[in-house]
Structure 1
Amino acid sequence: MEQEPMIEENKSNPNSWMIIFADLLALLLTFFVLMFSMSSVQVSEWQALVTSLSENLNPERAKIDDYDWNKIDEALILEETGMNLDYLKNVFEDKMSRNAILSRSTVTVLDDRLAISLPSDLIFELGQAELEPDARAAMIELGETLRTIDNEIMVVGHSDLSPISGRFYPTNWELSLVRAILISRLIKTGGYEGPIEAYGNGSSRFSELDESIPLDQRYNLARRVDVIVLQKKRN
């Protein structure tokens, strides 16, 4: 009996190429995953990229940044300085030595300022803010000396620790402030044309005095009015 030929078994599968293609895709995916796992992202470079994109894609932020940089440029402008403080110290000491009241004042150069310390017992009665005619004339004379400089000036009143009470000056702070304002006005009367800031410190700076000095002398030093000449040039 004659055997029938096997026709369908030897015929190749037409979709077999898809198996090979799937294997290739799997290999490629494995390769890329392996490459990515071996790489590292630089945080600084990534942050720079994010910042650059956010600035270029956000116009409002760019405007703010420009404005801030302009402010920084303004802050970097150096302040104009007035006359040399060491030179002024010599000038003031020479001119003040000719006045009986001003000659007992002290002139001290600090880092960025010069302090003319006026003992209040020379110009004010204890607990008062009125000046005698001679003291008033001396303050105007001081103003005549200060009018020739272009430095900024402020006046600061001080007091000792003794409590004070009264209708006009209930505390040392009010008394020291009124005295500073009065001296400021007399300096302006003498011809100083710039603005003058006046402050009252009361007894808040008493602890800064040298404790090795006897207490009664520290009280005398505390009762004063400081005329401060700053290194900065006045507007």
Structure 2
Amino acid sequence: MLATAKKRQEDASASWILTFADLLALLLTFFVLVFSMNSVQFESWKSVVRTMSEEFNPNRPMVEVQQHDTPASIMTRRIPGLNLSYLEALLERQLAQVALLKDAEVRLVGDKVVISLPASLMFERKKAILAPDASRALRQLAGALVQIRNKLQIAGYTDATPVTTGLFRSNWELSLTRARVVAGMLADAGYRQPITVLGYADTRLQDLSEQLSAQSRYEWAERIDIVLMNERRGQSTYDIF
């Protein structure tokens, strides 16, 4: 009787070994699973996924993956337009023939040619309605731009004085609207290629030359920049015309 009780006590005291063995087996299984997931063979895993999908969802629509042959836009070589130095001289000569635009500034900036037009030549203060003379001048300018293959941008700028006319909520809206008006006039005059339109308000005042007087900087702060890029015309994200 005593021997039987002692044996049962020994068996009970040794039962923890079974629990410990089970725990070790579970840990080993877990680490094997982690290792296998860390080094999955894609083809094998794809077969498992396909088999399970067909088993549990036989009506699932099949998706066929096909290779896309169109090259990514980032890999597409950009085709240059006209030589920028030639373009700068051409535009200076063309603008000199337009009375309203003879005071416009044409300059070569990096990989683009910029035509800067003071807003005071074309618009009333803090407004976006073109003056009759400005419309005629832009029509003449459009005749020259039609012959140029370079990509075109039009950017509007303003000074820091708030808009108080009630026509616009901010200088951002004013600068963008003026740029759109100029782009629309060029389009009406025959320019049929895409035009990128941007509005910068008063965020680029630091781009003005430090050599300008305070009065000149104030006048040039509100302007329209017609920018010709060093690449041929093409569709862009912001193209609206």
TM-score range relative to shorter protein: 0.5 to 0.7
Larger radius of gyration: 1
- TM-score, with length taken from structure 2: 0.66
Corresponding residue number in structure 2 for 1:161: 160
Letter in 2 for 1:120: A
Q: Over the residues paired in the alignment, what is the CA RMSD in angstroms?
A: 2.6
Give the conservation status (yes or no) of the 8 Å contact 2:122–2:131: yes
3-state SS of paired residue (2:110):
coil
Deviation digits for residues 160-218 of structure 1, max 9, x if unmatched?
A: 11111232112111111111001001111222221112111110111333445332221
Change in CA separation of 1:210 and 1:149 when aligned onto 2, cut-off 3 Å? closer
Unaligned runs of 5+ in 2: 1-37, 48-65, 235-241
Q: Which amino acid aligns with 1:223?
A: E
Would the aligned equivalents of 1:151 and 1:232 in 2 still touch at CA under 8 Å?
Answer: yes
Partner of 1:193: 192
Alignment-derived partner of residue 104 in structure 1: 103
Does 2:215 match 1:216?
yes
The alignment's TM-score, normalised by the length of structure 1, stands at: 0.68
> Which residue of the partner structure matches residue 7 of structure 1?
none
Aligned equivalents of 1:149 and 1:172: distance in 2? 31
Counterpart residue type for residue 182 of structure 2: I
| SS, match of residue 229 in structure 1 | strand
Amino acid at match of 1:194: Q
CA distance in 1, matches of 2:94, 2:74: 38
Structure 1 regions of 5+ residues with no counterpart? 1-49, 61-65
Conserved in 2, the CA contact under 8 Å of 1:161 and 1:219?
Answer: no
The count of residues paired between Structure 1 and Structure 2 equals: 179
Matched-pair contact (CA < 8 Å) for 1:148–1:192:
no
1:46 maps to which residue?
A: none
Residue identity in the other structure for 2:153? M
Q: Does 1:87 pair with 2:117?
A: no
Code of the residue aligned with 2:143 in structure 1: it is E
Call closer, same or farther: CA 1:87–1:215 in 2, change over 3 Å.
same
Any runs of at least 4 consecutive aligned residues in structure 1 with deviations exceeding 4 A, and if so which?
53-60, 70-74
Matched, 1:116 2:115: yes
**Counterpart Cα distance in 2 of 1:118 and 1:190:** 18
